[in-house]
Amino acid sequence: MKKTKKELYLSRKRISPPAITGREKLSDVIEEVFLAYNSARLREGCRLYAEKMLAGNVTVGMSLAGALTPAGLGKSSIVPLIKKGFVDWIVATGANLYHDLHFAFDFHLHQGSHQVDDVDLRKNNVVRIYDVFLDYTGCLISTDNILRDILSQPEFHREMSSAEFHYLLGRYAAEGEKKTGQKDVSVLAAAYRAGCPVYTSAPGDSAIGMTIAEVELRGGKIRINPSLDVNETTSLVLHAKRSGGKSAVLLIGGGSPKNFILQTEPQIQETFLLKEKGHDYFFQITDARPDTGGLSGATPHEAVSWGKIDPDSLPSAVVCYLDATVALPILTHYALSRHKKRPLKRLYFKRRKFMQKLMKEYFDTHNV
C-alpha cells in the first residue's frame, strides 16, 4: 500500500539517542547522537565524504580558508587526509601555507588568550591570532629568514604555476621536518611527498608573497602566473569528468579559495564553451551567513545558477554552519575510521598530460 505524505514525512529515524557513557567511539556518537540542526548536517557531510566522495573514481579538491594551520589543523587533520589519499588537490590561502612552515622548521606556536592587552603583546614581541600566540622574532622572523634563503635558490627564478612553486617549497619543508626530527607536521611537506598539487588563489596575500616581493627587489625573477593556475585546476576537473569519474569539492571555510576551486566548472562551460554540468559532490563547512551576499556563505543552490554544481547533485549537497576548528577534526576522524586508504592519484605529476587534453578539446571545439 502506498504511503501517505504524512507517513513519508515521518518515515525517517526516530530521535531517541542512547545515553552517552564515555566509552563510545567518536564515529558512533556522530551516527547515534548527531541527529538535528548542524550536528545532523555534520553527520550528513561525514557520510557524504566517506561513502561517496572517497569512491575510487572521484577526484577530491579541498579549499582551505581561515587561520587553520596556526591552530594545528594542518598537522592534526589535513596531513592525515593527504596521506590516506582522501584529498587529491588543494586550494589554500597563502597564510595557511606560510604558517604551515612554522611546523616544518619546528618553530613553536602556543595556546594563548583572546582576552589580553595587545599593546603589551606588541611590547613583548608576541603576535596573536585570536588565542594563538607566536614569538615575533623566534617564530615569524625566523621563518621569514629561512624562506628568504629558500626563495633565493635558482630553481624558483622562472615562471611557474603556484602548484609548481609550492611543490618546490614543499621539498624544503620536507627537508626541514627531517632536520628537526619532525614527522608529518607540514601540509606542504605531505603534499610534496604525495604528489598532491597545492594552489593559492592570491599569491601576493601572505608573508610568502611578501617575501617573494622582497626577493624581486633584490633582482629575483620569481613569476607565479595565475593563468597557469586557472587552466591547470580546470584541467584536473575536466579530466576527472572525461575519464568517466566524478569531481568533489570539500570546502573548509569560504573566501577566495572556495571560489577558485568552484570556478573550474564555469571556466569549462562559460569560458571554454565545453559541455559540462558542474561538480558532482559539494560539502562545505562555514560559519558565514548566506543572506549578506558574501561568497563564503553562498549555498550550493546558488552555485547551480553559475554552473558550478551539477543540479542533479543538490539532494546530497551539504552545508554545515559550524566552526571549522570543531568540524574538520571530527570529519577527519570519521573518514579515517570508516574508509580504507585510497591509492594516491599524484595529480601533480599529471598536470601536463591533463593540460594537453584540455587544450585539444578546446581547440577541437573551436576549430582553432
**Predicted confidence (pLDDT) per residue in 255-301, tens digit:** 999 999 999 999 999 999 999 999 999 999 999 888 888 878 888 88
Half-sphere exposure of 272 (CA within 13 A, CB side): 24
Catalytic residue ranges: 308
Is residue 36 in some structural domain?
no
End-to-end CA distance of the chain: 60
CA–CA dist 164, 203 (Å, integer): 13
Give which of 262, 281, 259, 263 is closest to 272, Cα–Cα: 263
pLDDT at 16 over 90: yes
Distance of CA 341 to CAs 23, 56, 286, 345, 365, Å? 26, 10, 27, 12, 38
**78 DSSP 8-state letter:** I
What strands lie across the sheet with 109-111, from one edge to the other?
A: 109-111, 132-135, 126-129
Is residue 6 in some structural domain?
no
pLDDT at position 266 is 96
pLDDT at position 233 is 98
Is residue 329 in some structural domain?
yes
Burial of 97 (0-12, 13-18, 19+ CB in 10 A): buried
Q: What's the pLDDT band for 207 if we cut at 50, 70, 90?
A: very high
Q: In this structure, how many other beta carbons lie within 10 angstroms of the beta carbon of residue 307?
A: 20
Is residue 181 in some structural domain?
yes
Instruction: Say if CB 79 and CB 188 are below 8 A apart.
Output: no
The CATH number given to whatever domain includes residue 204 is: 3.40.910.10
pLDDT at position 290 is 85
Instruction: Say if CB 250 and CB 282 are below 8 A apart.
Output: no
Q: What is the pTM of this model?
A: 0.95
Chain Cα centroid distance, residue 220 = 29
Phi then psi for residue 332, to 5 deg, are: -60, -45
CA–CA dist 273, 78 (Å, integer): 34
pLDDT at 231 over 90: yes
Chain Cα centroid distance, residue 75 = 14
Q: Give how many domains the chain has, as a whole number.
A: 1
pLDDT at position 190 is 98
Half-sphere exposure of 61 (CA within 13 A, CB side): 33
Query: Mind listing the pLDDT tens digit for each residue in 89-132?
Result: 999 999 999 999 999 999 999 999 999 999 999 999 999 999 99
Query: Mind listing the pLDDT tens digit for each residue in 301-353?
Result: 888 888 988 899 888 899 999 999 999 999 999 999 999 999 999 999 999 99
Range of the domain at 160: 52-365
Is residue 27 in some structural domain?
no
Lowest mean pLDDT of 26-40, 187-201, 288-302, name the range.
Answer: 288-302
Lowest mean pLDDT of 4-13, 77-86, 182-191, 235-244, name the range.
Answer: 4-13
Phi then psi for residue 346, to 5 deg, are: 50, 55
Give which of 256, 254, 260 is closest to 324, Cα–Cα: 254
Percentage of residues of the chain with pLDDT beyond 90: 89
pLDDT at position 159 is 97
Is residue 208 in some structural domain?
yes
Residues 109, 113, 117, 119, Cα dihedral to 10°: 20
Please provide the average confidence, as pLDDT, over all residues in the chain: 95
Distance of CA 19 to CAs 24, 30, 33, 86, Å? 10, 13, 9, 32
For residues 62 and 12, the model is more confident at 62
Q: Is residue 319 classed as helix, strand or coil in its secondary structure?
A: strand
Lowest mean pLDDT of 8-12, 33-37, 81-85, 237-241, name the range.
Answer: 8-12
Could you give the residue ranges of the DSSP H alpha helices within 263-323?
264-266, 300-305
What does the pLDDT average to over 155-169?
98
pLDDT at position 313 is 86
CA–CA dist 283, 247 (Å, integer): 12
